[in-house]
Amino acid sequence: MSYGVVENAGRPDGYKTREIVHREVDPLAPPEIFEEDMTMYTTQPSVTMDASPVKFPDGWTECLLYPDVKALILATPGFPSALTRPSSCKYRLSPTPGKGHGLFSISPIRANDLIISERPLTLVPAWQGISIRLLREMTMQEKIQIQAYEWEQQLKVLFDRLHPDYQAAFVKLANSHQHDGSGPIAGIMRTNGLGVSCLQTGRYTAEEQQKHRKGYYTAVCKEISRLNHSCCLNTTWFFDLSTFSFQLFATRDIAKDEELTISYINLRAPAKDRQLALEPYGFQCACSACLAPSSSDIQRASCLSMPVANMDDGLIKLALIEEAGLQGANAYSQTLKVVMEFCIGAGDAESASMYAKKLANRRWSAAANEARSYTTPLAIHSHPLWIERTQRG
Ligand SMILES: C[S@@+](CC[C@H](N)C(=O)[O-])C[C@H]1O[C@@H](n2cnc3c(N)ncnc32)[C@H](O)[C@@H]1O
């Protein structure tokens, strides 16, 4: 997709729009009745026509989905569970120089605390599979502009379905795609969308998923989409399917009035590549790592990619990641798991359970679920590696 300032942006002269065909369908109809490439507008969780944010404070999401994805959502155990809320409100929205608005802590926040849980306003495919009759004589730019134009027409239907309060919140969000031919709704989605990867149904091959982001979704939130980027992030989020909500957690201790930040990009990349990846958002990152690229690139590469051959390596890696303030990185969870396993290998159930607990506290991490079963020395005795070790004698 294009970004920045594109000359002749917008619908090319003489292009006649494609008719979008809409059909009302029974929301309970089985997925088989839908045609292969049909997408559906659907409200999840389902609410009554007179629903309001006051009546349903947990909120709901206007989605554009393939029918098999809707079936996957409805079949999720516990869906739709009520939101798990933080114990108190921990943040405020304030202007932040050079960045528009941002979120700031209103009191100290401890590492791993839940800060926000929120259902998104919208959820749509990250890949825009619109079939359009593109003519050979069209330039690549014209084809891209037509795709962008048609995508906006589809998004407009979704936007019109939003509750007026949600529409008002949506249009207040930043838009870094005002001059590249993206429509106003697509522009806001491209600037504020959070990736959702848990809606894969096996429809696409691994290559299609990787290369074209097929099967991935993008969601816009009223609050979490207000988070600015930092390569030295202090929060991270994950999407929970059963509550259909994003949950934002502190990755380290946060002081009162500190800005809350997430990373929009891959943290392992060197500063030069990170700046390139941030170009579509229309800003240059000025975090401490980007201001001192030569030292921080080395520090990041060595701590995030350091191989762990034994317990000492593991402990050094954890300390280095903490020193770099990158506890939000997956490498930190992976290292906690490896260190826990080394402790089991050494017959130290006490320390193993301590690392399991640290991992379990990182509720956003994929490894946290499994670790939850091993947070006491006694529970470690049921770990497969402990059993194997005792059987070996
Ligand atoms: C998802 S929005 C974040 C919230 C936004 N600042 C607002 O006022 O609603 C992304 C946009 O925020 C701004 N932004 C985010 N992180 C930034 C940073 N580190 N430095 C400068 N601008 C930033 C950019 O304009 C970017 O396109």
Question: Residue 370: helix, strand or coil by DSSP?
Answer: helix
pLDDT at 130: 66
pLDDT at 105: 98
229 CA from centroid of ligand 1 (Å): 7
Mean pLDDT of the chain: 92
Nearest of 124, 155, 157, 130 to residue 144 by alpha carbon: 130
pLDDT at 97: 94
Flag whether pLDDT at 267 surpasses 80.
yes
Mutate to test the pocket of ligand 1, among 275, 283, 291 (most ligand atoms within 8 A of CB): 283
| CB-ligand 1 contact for 192 (6 Å cutoff) | yes
The answer, yes or no, to whether ipTM is higher than 0.95 is yes
Q: Give the tens place of pLDDT for each residue, 311-328.
A: 999 999 999 999 999 999
Confidence bin at 195 (pLDDT 50/70/90): very high
| CB-ligand 1 contact for 101 (6 Å cutoff) | yes
Residue nearest to atom 15 of ligand 1 (CA): 228
| CB-ligand 1 contact for 191 (6 Å cutoff) | yes
pLDDT at 327: 96
Flag whether pLDDT at 128 surpasses 80.
no
If you average pLDDT over residues 139-167, what whole number do you get? Answer: 92
Nearest of 244, 227, 242 to residue 328 by alpha carbon: 227
Flag whether pLDDT at 132 surpasses 70.
no
Q: 240 vs 85, 208, 234, 303, CA distance in Å?
A: 13, 24, 20, 29
**What's the CA gap between 265 and 15, in Å, rounded?**
35
Instruction: Tell me the HSE value of 249 on the side-chain side, using a 13 A CA sphere.
Output: 20
Q: Give the tens place of pLDDT for each residue, 169-180.
A: 999 999 999 999
348 CA from centroid of ligand 1 (Å): 46
| CB-ligand 1 contact for 174 (6 Å cutoff) | yes
Flag whether pLDDT at 19 surpasses 90.
no
136 CA from centroid of ligand 1 (Å): 38
Paired tokens of 272 = 């030069």
pTM: 0.93
Chain mean position to CA 292: 27
pLDDT at 293: 95
Confidence bin at 6 (pLDDT 50/70/90): confident
Ranges of H-type helices in the chain? 67-74, 140-161, 164-171, 184-192, 206-212, 271-278, 288-291, 293-304, 311-323, 330-345, 349-361, 368-371, 377-380, 384-392
| CB-ligand 1 contact for 176 (6 Å cutoff) | yes
Paired tokens of 15 = 């292009």
pLDDT at 22: 81
Confidence bin at 137 (pLDDT 50/70/90): confident
391 CA from centroid of ligand 1 (Å): 55
